[in-house]
Amino acid sequence: MKTIKVNLKKRSYNIIIGSGLLKQAGRRIKSMNIGSDAFVITNARIKNKYGSLLSKTLQAAGINVKFKLVADSEKSKSIAVASEVIRDLANFDKKRKVFIIAFGGGVIGDLSGFVASVYKRGIAYLQVPTTLLAQVDSAIGGKTAVDLTQGKNLVGAIYQPKAVFSDVAVLKSLDLRQLKSGMAEVIKYGLIKDPVLFAYLEKKSKDILRADTKSLLNIVWRCSLIKARVVEQDEKEEKGMRTILNFGHTLGHAIEAAAGFEKYNHGEAVALGMLLACIVSSKLGMSTGNACLRAEKLIRACGLPERIRGVSTDKIIKAYYRDKKFTGSKNRLVLLKNIGTTKIVENIPLEVIEGALKERI
């Protein structure tokens, strides 16, 4: 078991990483003294698999448990669902001190964190991520949100959890596509910050995709460490340090949006976005060919898509500019100089981005 502290002064918390953590979570949570009544937000699939395990450990520690199920879909990240969750939370919150456990992937983590941030002007919550993607990325750093029809993550807050419990044992029951999707974020950390991690992934991708415990522990730990250090430097995303975490995401989001959030899941879109960022880097003479080739080879080895299917260049470019306009952000991409080294470049000519897209469509 490993612990990483996220240093954010009064808002500091630990990320605890292990295999089989869940069984002993009750005692640990009890010792944190954050409340007596756990309101667990999850979906039916996760509750069926791990609900009784979590219930038992909490109850053994004297903590009352109430499960709140939401649909296993991005559609759960809405104000309407948040409102329903808050209503049930207030009904449960009658006697003692309630806190929230976000027990699921990114959707549940984002939704639960948002509910925790606004209920009674903020109550304690824990992240217990059950997907690789959530363990290495979304459960860490306090970004919470729900979507609007006008765009994703438009309503929310930066609101830190009291702890993150990442039990890699639960990743064994993920379907392969979800595991692969998480790998896209893992590859991202290697590319932007950690050549040693990247080399490890090149060697171990097969082990990871068959959910080998030791490999999973290693990658969740290394990625969590990188994320924690970036968040410490720029908690509120005001100073630009968090920007490098967007490597592959800017064009990835455009592909996701252009494809109507159906064809590609988040990790698949990020994999494509990283490949495109590599191509743009090469076109601008920034990246050594070797780094891009290695990135492409690893993405392929992880069974992530290398080519964009069923969406036009035009649609992707439109989605890219719509997003830029709406968020008020600049025409700016995180590009790759070498494995582990990035550069943020502004005002990239449209034809360069179009050229990169055409190579992959």
What positions carry a catalytic annotation?
Answer: 121, 143, 185, 227, 237, 242, 246, 249, 253, 266
| Count of residues near a copy of itself by CB under 8 A | 35
Q: Among 42, 112, 117, 135, which residue sits at the site for a copy of itself (rule: CB under 8 A)? A: 117
Asked if 49 is part of the footprint of a copy of itself (rule: CB under 8 A), the reply reads no
CA atoms 343, 360, 312, 185: torsion sign: negative
Provide φ and ψ at 166, rounded to 5°.
Answer: -105, 105
Which amino acid, residue 351? E
Q: Is residue 93 a contact point for a copy of itself (CB under 8 A)?
A: yes
329 alpha carbon, distance to own chain's centre: 21
Closer to a copy of itself at the Cβ: 90 or 196? 90
| CB closer to a copy of itself out of 119 and 200 | 119
| 318, two tokens | 């439109």
* By the rule CB under 8 A, 31 interacts with a copy of itself: no
Binding mask 326-345 for a copy of itself (x = CB under 8 A): xxx-----------------
Considering only 9, 31, 62, 94, the residue that binds a copy of itself (CB under 8 A) is 94
**What CA–CA distance (Å, rounded) separates 268 from 252?**
8
State which of residues 148, 196, 293, 361 lies at the interface with a copy of itself (CB under 8 A). 148
What is the CB-side half-sphere exposure of residue 233 using CA atoms within 13 A?
A: 12
User: 31, 62, 121, 347: which one contacts a copy of itself (CB under 8 A)?
Assistant: 121
Per the CB < 8 A criterion, the answer to whether 181 and 189 are in contact is: no
Q: Is 199 exposed, middle or buried (0-12, 13-18, 19+ CB in 10 A)?
A: middle
Q: Is 241 in the site for a copy of itself (CB under 8 A)?
A: no
Of the candidates 225, 196, 201, 224, the one whose C-alpha atom is nearest the C-alpha of residue 301 is: 201
Binding a copy of itself (rule: CB under 8 A), the pick from 285, 307, 325, 351 is 325
Q: How many CB atoms lie within 10 A of CB 217?
A: 18
Q: How far is residue 225's CA from residue 82's CA, in Å, rounded to a whole number?
A: 30
Q: Does 145 bind a copy of itself (CB under 8 A)?
A: yes
Distance from C-alpha of 292 to C-alpha of 276, rounded to nearest angstrom: 10
By CB under 8 A, tell whether 120 contacts a copy of itself: yes
Q: H/E element holding 157? A: strand 151-158
Q: By CB under 8 A, is residue 158 in contact with a copy of itself?
A: yes
By CB under 8 A, tell whether 352 contacts a copy of itself.
Answer: no
- Please give the DSSP secondary-structure letter assigned to residue 37: E
CB of 238 to a copy of itself, least distance (A): 10
Beta bridge pairs of residue 343? 335
211 near a copy of itself (CB under 8 A): no
**Residue 157 in contact with a copy of itself, rule: CB under 8 A:** yes
Taking CB under 8 A as the criterion, the residue among 91, 175, 289, 351 binding a copy of itself is: 91
Of 17-25, 141-149, 186-194, 352-360, the segment contacting a copy of itself by CB under 8 A is: 141-149
Q: Which of residues 265-324 bind a copy of itself (CB under 8 A)?
A: none
**61: Cα separation from own chain's centroid:** 30
154 is an interface residue for a copy of itself by CB under 8 A: yes
Report the run of H or E that residue 359 belongs to, with start and end.
helix 350-360
The minimum distance between CB 91 and a copy of itself, in angstroms, equals: 7
Among 12, 83, 233, 290, indicate the residue that binds a copy of itself (CB under 8 A): 83
**Cα 198 versus chain centre, distance:** 19
The backbone region for 312, taken as left when phi is positive above 0, alpha when psi lies in -120 to 50, beta otherwise, is: beta
Interface residues with a copy of itself (CB under 8 A)?
Answer: 79-80, 82-83, 86-87, 90-91, 93-97, 114, 117-122, 143, 145, 148-151, 154-158, 325-328
